Amino acid sequence: MSVISTTDLSMVFGHNRALDDLDVDVHAGVTGLVGANGAGKTTFMSIVLGLRYPTTGRVEVLGLDAQADGTEVRALVGYGPERNLLPEDMPASDFVKHLAEVRGMPRSEARGRASDALWLVGLGEERFRALGTMSTGQRQRVKLAQAIASDPSLVLLDEPTDGLDPVQRDEMLVLIRQISDEYGIDVLLSSHLLEEVERICDHVVALDAGRLIAQGRLADLVGDEEGVMVDLVEIPDRPDAIRGVVARLRGDGLEVHHEDGSTRIAVVGPDADLVADRVRDALAESGARVGRIERRRRNLEDLFAPGPA
Amino acid sequence: MADNGAQILDRGYRRYEGSRSGTVGAVRSVAWHTTRSILGLGRKARHKIFPVIVVVIAFIPAIVFLGLTVLIGDLLEDELQPEYWELFGFSNVAIVLFATLVAPEAIVRDRRDGMLSLYLSTPLTRSTYVAAKVIATLGTMSIITIGPPILALLGYTFQSQGPGGVLEWFEVLAKLVVSGLLIVAVLTAVSLGASSLTDRRAFASVAVIMIMIGSLTVTAVLINVAGGSQSLGALSPFSAFEVAPRMFGDRSEDAEEVETWLVVAATFGWIAAGSSVLWWKYRRLGAV
C-alpha cells in the first residue's frame, strides 16, 4: 500500500507550473524526494500536508484525502521544515513537548515523549538548553525530535541536512535511517543532494521543474554497471580514429553516445563486461590512443541528464 | 547495598496507542502557550517587565479606591465612590499599554521564529491558529480590563457598600463582564490586526499606537478645535470605552451627545475592521 499517492496532481502559481500532472506513489520505508531547488519539492510537501490545495488532481496520505481530511492527516504526520528558524529563548525540551501537545499528545505523555525523542537524537544531556544557544547541527536534531515525538506514522523532512558539516550530515542520515528501520516510521526526505539520498533511501521520486522524471526503488534506478566511458586522444596521423571506434561499436549493436568534435564516448550495453571487451577490440583496431577508460555506474544524476554524455 | 528494586531502563522509542486531542487540544495548547509567552512566564526576567508593569498600573486605581473604602469608607461621601463602569476609564492607560506593547507578542513572534509553519503542519488550520491567538489575547487582556472592576465590586460588597440584593449584584457583575469583553474585543482586534502586518514587534507596537493615539488625537482636534460633533469620537477605538457607561444607563461627559446605537455600531465596526485585516493577512500567508 502506498503511504502517499497522487493522481494527475498539478499546482499552478500564476504563469508558473510548480507541479505538472504528477502520478506519484510513495511506499513504506525511506523515500527520497529529489530535485534541484525550485523543482517543486516543498510545494509537493505542503500539498501532502493539506496546506495547499492543488490546482488539479488528488492526493491520498495514509489512506486519507489530504484536502478533505487535512486535519486528520496532519495529526498522523510529523514535519521537519527546511528553515532553521526556531524560538531562540525556548529550551529544547519545552519546544518538543509543546509541539507534541499541539499534535494531540496529552500533556503528561508529551513531556515524557519529548525527553525520549531528544535522547534518541543524541540531545539528552542538552535538552534544557535554549534553542538559540545550539549549533546548526543540534537545531537540525531538535527539528527531527519534534517531528517524531508525537509518534507519527509518516515524517516529512525538508532538507534535513542543510547547513551541516560532513560528520554531522553522516550522523543525521544514520538517525533518519534509524527512524524507519527501528521505529517503523515511514520517511519522505526532500533533498537536492543526490549522494545522500542514494545512501539511505529505499525509494526515489525525482522531480525536475515540477515534472516527474523517475520514481521507484532506488536499486532499480541506480547502481548497475551499464557500460564504459572512454576518453580518447586524437592523433594527428589518424584523424578518423574516434569516428572509426564509434562506427565499429555501433556496428556491434551497442548504444554509443558521442558528440561530433568530442573526444569522449560513452558506451552502454546489456552487459558491462561484454561492452568492455568490445571497446577494447575497437580501440585496438583503430589504433586510437586512450586517455582514460572507466566503468560507468548509473547514479541519480543520470535521471536529470539527457543522456550519458 | 540494599536492593530497593530501582532500575535504570532504556525506554527507547515507544509507540503511542492512546487517544489524540485533535483540533481542540491543539487550540488549547497554543492558546495556553501564547498566554504564557505574552505574560513572560517561563522566559527571562526582561520579558516579564512590561506585563508586570501593565498589571500593576491596571489594578492600582481599583486597589486605591478599595483601600480608601476599607480604611475611611464611613467618612467618604457617596460622590467620591466611583461608579463601577468608571473603573474601566481609570485603567484604560494600562489596557492601551497592553494592547500596544504586550499583545503584539501573541502573533508577531511566531512568524519571526518559524513557529507558524510548524503550527500549520499540525492539526491546526490558519483559522484555528488565529482562533487560539485571539483566545489567548482576549483572555490575557480580560485580566487587566475586567479584573479591576470585579475586584472593586467584591471589595465594596465585603464592605457592605456593594449592590443591594443578590439579583442586583449579579446584574452589575454581568454588565461589567459584558462591557469589559466588548472593550477587550475591540482592542484585541485592533492590536492583532495591526500586528499581522509586520514581523517586527516594535513596528507592530508603533502601528497599534498610530491607530489608537493617532485616531484619538485626530478626533479630539475635530471635536474640540474644529467644533465637530462628539459622534466623531466613534472614529477612534477608544469609543469602545463608552460601552461601559451605556451598559449602566449612564453617559460619560465626553460622549453625552453620542447616540447609543452609534456607540454599539462603532464598537462592532472596530471589531470587524481589525478581524478582517487579521483574517485577510493570515489567509494570504504561505504555510510551509
Q: Which of A126, A145, A218 is nearest to A185 (CA)?
A: A145
Q: Do A120 and B12 touch (CB under 8 A)?
A: yes
Report the gap between the CA of B121 and the closest CA in chain A (Å).
6
Q: Which of A280, A214, A221, A225 shows the shortest CA–CA distance to A248?
A: A280
Instruction: Report which of B34, B35, B97, B32 is spatially closest to residue B60, judged by C-alpha positions.
Output: B97
Q: Which residues on chain B are in Cβ contact (under 8 Å) with A113?
A: 14, 16
Report the range of poorest mean pLDDT among A101-115, A172-186, A242-256, A281-295. Answer: A281-295
Which element (helix H / strand E) includes B237? none
Average pLDDT estimate for B114-126: 90
- Of the candidates A72, A98, A103, the beta carbon closest to that of B33 is on A98
Mean pLDDT score, A64-76: 91
DSSP string covering B56-72: HHHHHHHHHHHHHHHHH
Give the pLDDT band of residue A256 (cuts 50, 70, 90). Answer: confident
Taking the C-alpha atoms of residue B109 and residue B129, their distance in angstroms, rounded to an integer, is 14
Q: Is pLDDT of A235 > 70?
A: no
For B107, the 3-state DSSP assignment is helix
Q: For testing the chain A interface, which of B29, B34, B48 should be mutated: the one with the most A CBs within 10 Å?
A: B29
Residue B68 has pLDDT above 60, yes or no: yes
Q: Which residue has the higher pLDDT, A252 or A57?
A: A57
Identify the band that residue B78 occupies on the pLDDT scale cut at 50, 70 and 90. Answer: low
pLDDT band at B1 (very low <50, low <70, confident <90, very high): very low
Provide mean pLDDT across the span B82-93.
82
Which of B9, B10, B11, B16 is best to mutate for the A interface (most A CBs within 10 A)? B16
Report residue A300 as a C-alpha cell. Answer: 541519480
Task: Please give the distance of CA B286 from its chain centroid, rounded to a whole number.
Answer: 28
Region B118-140: mean pLDDT is: 93
CB contact under 8 A, B288 and A184: no
Could you tell me what percent of chain A has a pLDDT over 90?
A: 48
Residue-level pLDDT at B80:
64
Q: Which pLDDT score, from 0 to 100, does residue A264 have?
A: 81
SS3 annotation, B128-174: HHHHHHHHHHHHHHHHHHHHHHHHHHHHHHHCCCCCCCHHHHHHHHH
Q: What percent of chain B has pLDDT over 70?
A: 92
pLDDT for residue A163: 84
Query: A90-121 pLDDT, tens per residue?
Result: 999 999 999 999 999 998 899 999 999 999 99
Residues of chain B with Cβ-Cβ distance to A105 below 8 Å are 16, 20-21
Residues paired with A187 in a beta bridge: A30, A155
pLDDT averaged over chain A?
Answer: 87
Q: With 60 as the cut, is the pLDDT of residue A309 above it? A: no
Which range, A146-160, A214-228, B87-101, is most confident? A146-160
What the block records as the C-alpha cell of A252 is 556491434
- Chain B contact present for A6, CB below 8 A: no
Residue B44 CA: distances (Å) to CA of A37, A256, B38, B41, B49: 39, 68, 12, 8, 10
Residue A86 has pLDDT above 70, yes or no: yes
User: Which neighbouring-strand residues pair with A280?
Assistant: none
**Chain A: closest CA distance from residue B114 (Å):** 5
Q: What is the mean pLDDT of residues A19-26?
A: 94
* Record: contact B118-A79, CB cut-off 8 A: yes
Report yes or no: A117 and A148 within 8 Å, Cβ to Cβ: yes
Cα A85 to Cα B145: distance, rounded to the nearest angstrom: 35
Residue B287 has pLDDT above 60, yes or no: no
Under the banding of pLDDT at 50, 70 and 90, the label for residue A226 is low
Could you tell me the pLDDT band of residue A141, with boundaries at 50, 70 and 90?
very high
How would residue A308 be classed by pLDDT, with cut points 50, 70 and 90? very low
Are residues A75 and B20, on separate chains, in Cβ contact within 8 Å? yes
Distance from CA of A215 to the nearest CA of B (A): 24
Q: How confident is the model at residue A234, as a pLDDT?
A: 65
Instruction: Choose from B41-45, B189-193, B198-202, B225-229 the range with maximum mean pLDDT.
Output: B189-193
Contact call for A183 and B18, based on CB within 8 A: no
SS3 sequence of A43-97: HHHHHHCCCCCCCEEEEEECCEECCCCHHHHHHHEEEECCCCCCCCCCEHHHHHH
Number of C-beta neighbours around residue A43 at 10 A: 20
DSSP A136-147: HHHHHHHHHHHH
A154 and A188 in contact (C-beta within 8 Å)?
A: yes
pLDDT of residue B102: 80
Q: Is A146 on the interface with B (CB under 8 A)?
A: yes
Q: Which residues of A touch B40 (CB under 8 A)?
A: none
Is the Cβ of B31 closer than 8 Å to some Cβ of chain A? no
What residues does A14 pair with on adjacent strands?
none
Neighbour tally for B171: CB within 10 Å? 13
pLDDT in tens, B36-66: 988 888 778 888 888 888 888 888 888 888 8
Grid cell locating A18? 510548480
> Is residue A59 within 8 Å of residue A9, measured between CB atoms?
yes
pLDDT at A194 over 70: yes
Band of residue B190 on the pLDDT scale cut at 50, 70, 90: very high
What percentage of residues in chain B have a pLDDT greater than 90? 41
